[in-house]
Amino acid sequence: MQQQPTQWNPATGLSEQASGIYFAEGPASNWLVVRDSTGFILVDSGYPQDRCHVLASLRFLGLDPADARAMLVTHGHVDHTGSAAFFSESFGTPVLCSPTELAHVQGKEKHQVTLGQVLRRAWRPRVFRWMVHAIRAGALAARPASGAIAWDKDMLQALPGSPVAIPLPGHTPGNAAILFPDAGAIAVGDAFVSGHPISRACGPQMLHAMYHTDAAEALASLRELAGVDAAVVLPGHGPALHVPLAEALAAVGTREG
């Protein structure tokens, strides 16, 4: 089914949340542009139909998409890898993810909410609206980034922003947060979020259990973030949070998504 892309304006949807860290709050999923004197990288890339928005966000910043030094993927769900194959094939952009997530990002494994899980809950208006958006955004036709490679510490350290990966399994087996120590910012992907179309809650929260490979492990793995110094928290869904990471983590357990 062909449809017009959801309206999105980088002038209002893109903002610098910390030095060199640009947060794009997309129509239903977020991505980052991280730049410094050595170039720029992307972190995640929305749904497949968000490609035009990802490209618009780069051009709004005066960047050439072909110059991206890498795309980092927090995890392999289609609302985060939507432009990964396109960037890899069109520009030769390295697509990097955790070693444990590699087979998922390459399309050799599948760790995604199933259509059956969604349909059982589609009587709920919020779930139905989200399902329609996901389908229109290309979720069912997403292509894997077959050329993706696994990152390592040295590889990440050499990239703009000197990112540090923190494994947080449970949402998917190789799910990871990405810390930018100099900027005091952390991209938490879907380890926890600050909002979601099917949730009535606002603020730090876990996604609904159906989105996790192992919901209990996803919650338990947040302990790996204890002691991480960051005052800007950038989730995969919902607005950016300007609170200490420890405060955001403490709030996660008080809200039901």
111-142 confidence digits (pLDDT tens): 887 778 878 888 888 888 888 988 999 988 89
Please give the pLDDT value at position 59: 97
Domain boundaries, the chain: 10-252
Looking at residues 54-76, what average pLDDT do you find?
Answer: 98
Residues 6+ apart with CB under 8 A from 160: 20, 34, 35, 36, 38, 39, 40, 41, 69
10-252 fold: Metallo-beta-lactamase; Chain A (3.60.15)
pLDDT of residue 241 exceeding 50, the answer is yes
pLDDT of residue 253 exceeding 50, the answer is yes
Please give the pLDDT value at position 122: 83
Looking at residues 74-84, what average pLDDT do you find?
Answer: 97
Looking at residues 211-231, what average pLDDT do you find?
Answer: 96
**Dist. CA 35–CA 37, nearest whole Å:** 7
Looking at residues 207-232, what average pLDDT do you find?
Answer: 96
Please give the pLDDT value at position 4: 42
pLDDT tens digits for 6-46?
589 999 999 999 999 999 999 999 999 999 999 999 999 99
Please give the pLDDT value at position 6: 58
Q: Residue 3: which pLDDT band, with cuts at 50, 70 and 90?
A: very low
Please give the pLDDT value at position 116: 81
Question: How far is CA 131 from each of CA 97, 122, 127, rounded to the nearest angstrom?
Answer: 26, 8, 6
Nearest to 147 by CA among 100, 109, 108, 94: 94
Please give the pLDDT value at position 119: 80
As a whole-number percent, the residues of the chain with pLDDT over 70 amount to: 96
Nearest to 20 by CA among 3, 41, 4: 41
Looking at residues 148-162, what average pLDDT do you find?
Answer: 98
pLDDT of residue 225 exceeding 70, the answer is yes
pLDDT of residue 1 exceeding 90, the answer is no
Looking at residues 59-74, what average pLDDT do you find?
Answer: 98
Helix (H) or strand (E) holding 246: helix 245-252
Please give the pLDDT value at position 123: 85
Question: To which residue do tokens 């089914």 refer?
Answer: 1
Q: What angle do CA 169, 192, 245 make, to 5 degrees?
A: 105
**Dist. CA 214–CA 199, nearest whole Å:** 19
Please give the pLDDT value at position 7: 84
What average pLDDT does the chain have?
A: 94
